């Protein structure tokens, strides 16, 4: 895919957005049902793993999902991965305040290449990060690595931008319906601004493509948790 942002360019943009992403009312504004999915993940993970201990959050941002999870199950040993060092620092600061008795390990870089222990994690959280993957080989290799990082019985919880498989439905759901939502936040200029950086930075895949690929790399159970227009949350178990 030509002319897409490099990882360094994406890192630079998020370096400058730490404060915004530390506040749900601003950082998650363009993401449909962000707070709903955050609560859904926290409740779903804590219900599935009442004795949860080891959590990996890739593309952790300012740590919103981890803080929400800690309201349901605590303490936790949390590993945070993000391209942005300022984001990691903010996430560590915020999580430390509520994770009494737990540990926090921070790694700056690409989750596909940073040093992580195979088979260690009960749960992996991946929110608004996988859409930065590019070619099909990138997707398959990334999903295979995430599978390898989980213990048997562990699971990955994904919330992300998705495409429709049909071009006409993609125009309706993304350009028209999601576009109307973005205009309602501000105006047409804001809608166009968001569409421009999605076009530059992101390369999402259809939901069913991702569910099929999760099974292909070895996950035994996959399930859709929620979908609203071009955003979906889903889970896969090892």
DSSP string of 217-232?
TT-SEEEEEEEETTEE
Note the pLDDT of residue 197.
Answer: 87
**172 contact partners, CB below 8 Å, separation of at least 6:** none
Tokens of residue 210, six digits: 């991702």
Note the pLDDT of residue 15.
Answer: 47
Element (H, E) at 88: helix 85-96
Mean pLDDT by runs of 10 across the 238 residues of the chain is: 64 55 64 93 97 97 94 97 92 95 96 96 96 94 98 98 97 98 94 92 96 98 98 98
CATH topology of domain 7-164+204-237: Rossmann fold (3.40.50)
Q: What is the DSSP letter of 163?
A: B
Query: What CA–CA distances, in Å, run from 153 to 96, 148, 210?
Result: 27, 12, 20
Note the pLDDT of residue 48.
Answer: 97
pTM above 0.85, yes or no: yes
Tokens of residue 146, six digits: 């995430």
Note the pLDDT of residue 218.
Answer: 98
Tokens of residue 108, six digits: 């700056």
CB count within 10 Å of CB 205 equals 18
Note the pLDDT of residue 5.
Answer: 61
* Kind of pairing between the strands at 121-127 and 150-161: parallel
Residue 202, classed as helix, strand or coil, is coil
CA dist 140 and 123 (Å) reads 19
CA dist 114 and 108 (Å) reads 8
Q: How far is CA 21 from the centre of its chain?
A: 13
């Amino acid at each position: 895919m030509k002319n897409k942002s490099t990882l360094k360019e994406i890192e630079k943009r998020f370096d400058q957005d730490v404060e915004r992403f530390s506040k749900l009312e601003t950082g998650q504004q363009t993401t449909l049902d962000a707070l709903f999915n955050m609560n859904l993940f926290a409740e779903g993970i804590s219900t599935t793993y009442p004795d949860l201990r080891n959590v990996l959050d890739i593309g952790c941002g300012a740590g919103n999902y981890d803080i929400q999870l800690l309201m349901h199950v605590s303490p936790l040993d949390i590993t945070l991965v993000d391209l942005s060092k300022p984001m990691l620092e903010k996430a560590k600061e915020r999580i430390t305040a509520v994770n009494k008795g737990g540990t926090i390990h921070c790694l700056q870089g690409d989750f596909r290449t940073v040093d992580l222990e195979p088979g260690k994690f009960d749960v992996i959280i991946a929110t608004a990060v996988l859409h930065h993957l590019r070619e099909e080989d990138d997707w398959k290799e990334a999903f295979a690595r995430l599978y390898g990082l989980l213990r048997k019985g562990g699971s990955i919880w994904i919330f992300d931008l998705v495409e429709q498989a049909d071009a006409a439905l993609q125009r309706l759901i993304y350009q028209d319906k999601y576009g109307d939502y973005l205009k309602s936040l501000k105006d047409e200029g804001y809608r166009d601004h968001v569409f421009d950086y999605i076009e530059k930075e992101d390369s999402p895949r259809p939901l069913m493509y991702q569910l099929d690929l999760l099974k292909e790399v070895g996950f035994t159970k996959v399930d859709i948790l929620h979908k609203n227009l071009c955003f979906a949350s889903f889970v896969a178990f090892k």
